[in-house]
């Protein structure tokens, strides 16, 4: 969608309208870009929902079998709210395609729908990443208590778990850039360029993040693993398989002892 939009604008700017003024070219390019406005916004919103669902899935698997698993219902509730507001936003955008920005005209639900979806998505990622971080802390305490080895933090599973936490917080910081999208900068050309960059960036990161999580948990490798693997597979945490919940059940017992 972004490539099609880019090609359409390039044609309007430099090829098809050589005798028109710059303002006329911009206006015509915006009109032609409306063809992909609704599909692009729909993909963005659903990518956002899918990304949140993947993060929640990771947190759910890691906390499986633990008495604190019910905490995962908090981001699940946020996810349902995000999905509801996304549906409202898509419906409003479909009724008013002439408005090309992310915020929609009309009722308050239409005007604030995309912004509310974004804000709830931020809360979903922050709470899910915090739950993963909490589980990592418990898991590290359990492993250190059981093995008492100096290389516990160098295990593959632990490294991947830490990468999940780091990537979650990085994603949340990157997601903050989407705040720019909900402001109208049409009267200021330089700010409008910033809006376009942030809008395209959001489309890409909302698709890359869940893919990165699946890859990380699937192959259980990091850059440091490539530099030097730990051959002791018996001490490896399996994050791609829900059997990690066994560690979770052990952590409940050991946590009580540690406390």
pLDDT in tens, 53-68: 988 988 888 888 888 8
Predicted pLDDT at 74 = 94
Structural domain for 196, as ranges: 37-258
pLDDT of residue 127: 92
d(CA 146, CA 61): 22
Q: Which two tokens stand for residue 102?
A: 């992310």
Inside any domain, residue 198 = yes
Residue 183 lies in a domain: yes
State residue 77's pLDDT score: 94
Distance CA 248, CA 135 (A): 8
Tally the C-alpha atoms within 13 A of residue 220's C-alpha that lie toward its C-beta: 14
Let me know if residue 6 belongs to a domain: no
Number of structural domains, the chain? 1
CA distance 31 to 26: 9
Show the low-confidence residues of the chain (pLDDT under 70).
Answer: 1-37, 95-109, 142-160, 182-196, 199-200, 203, 216-259
- Measured CA to CA in angstroms, residue 213 lies from 110, 116, 132 at distances of 32, 25, 12
Q: How far apart are CA 95 and CA 242, in angstroms?
A: 44
Q: Which residue has the tokens 């949140």?
A: 52
Helix (H, G, I), strand (E, B) or coil at 187: coil
Residues 6+ apart with CB under 8 A from 194: 180, 185
Q: Report the first-to-last Cα separation within the chain, whole angstroms.
A: 53
3-state secondary structure of 89: helix
CA distance 121 to 109: 17
Query: Which pLDDT does position 39 carry in this prediction?
Result: 76
Taking every pair of C-alpha atoms in the chain, what is the biggest distance, in angstroms?
Answer: 79
Q: Is residue 26 part of a domain?
A: no
Rounded to 5 degrees, what are φ and ψ at 127? -70, -40
Is 22 a domain residue?
A: no
Which pLDDT score, from 0 to 100, does residue 230 have? 46
Residue 25 lies in a domain: no
Cα dihedral 58, 63, 69, 74 in deg (nearest 10):
-30
**Does residue 18 lie within any of the structural domains?**
no
- Assess if residue 100 is contained within a domain: yes
Q: How far apart are CA 37 and CA 95, in angstroms?
A: 12
Q: How far apart are CA 63 and CA 58, in angstroms?
A: 9
Q: How far is CA 53 from the centre of its chain?
A: 9
């Amino acid at each position: 969608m972004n490539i099609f939009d880019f090609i359409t604008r390039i044609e309007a700017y430099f090829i098809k309208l050589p005798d028109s003024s710059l303002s006329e070219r911009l206006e015509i390019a915006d009109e032609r870009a409306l063809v992909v406005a609704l599909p692009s916004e729909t993909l963005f919103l659903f990518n956002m929902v899918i990304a949140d669902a993947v993060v929640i899935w990771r947190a759910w698997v890691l906390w499986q079998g633990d008495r604190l698993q019910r905490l995962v219902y908090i981001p699940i509730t946020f996810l349902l709210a995000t999905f509801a507001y996304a549906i409202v936003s898509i419906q409003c955008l479909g009724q008013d395609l002439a408005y090309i920005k992310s915020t929609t005209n009309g009722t308050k639900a239409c005007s604030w729908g995309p912004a509310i979806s974004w804000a709830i998505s931020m809360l979903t990622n922050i709470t899910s990443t915090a739950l993963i971080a909490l589980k990592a802390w418990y898991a590290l305490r359990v492993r250190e208590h059981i093995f008492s080895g100096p290389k516990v933090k160098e295990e593959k599973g632990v490294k991947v778990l830490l990468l999940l936490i780091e990537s979650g917080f990085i994603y949340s910081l990157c997601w903050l850039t989407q705040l720019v999208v909900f402001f109208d900068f049409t009267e200021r050309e330089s700010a409008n360029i910033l809006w376009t960059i942030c809008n395209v960036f959001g489309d890409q990161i909302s698709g890359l993040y869940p893919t990165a999580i699946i890859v990380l948990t699937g192959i259980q490798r990091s850059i440091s693993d490539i530099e030097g693997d730990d051959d002791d597979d018996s001490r490896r945490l399996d994050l791609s398989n829900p059997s990690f919940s066994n560690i979770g059940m052990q952590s409940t017992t050991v946590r009580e002892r540690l406390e």
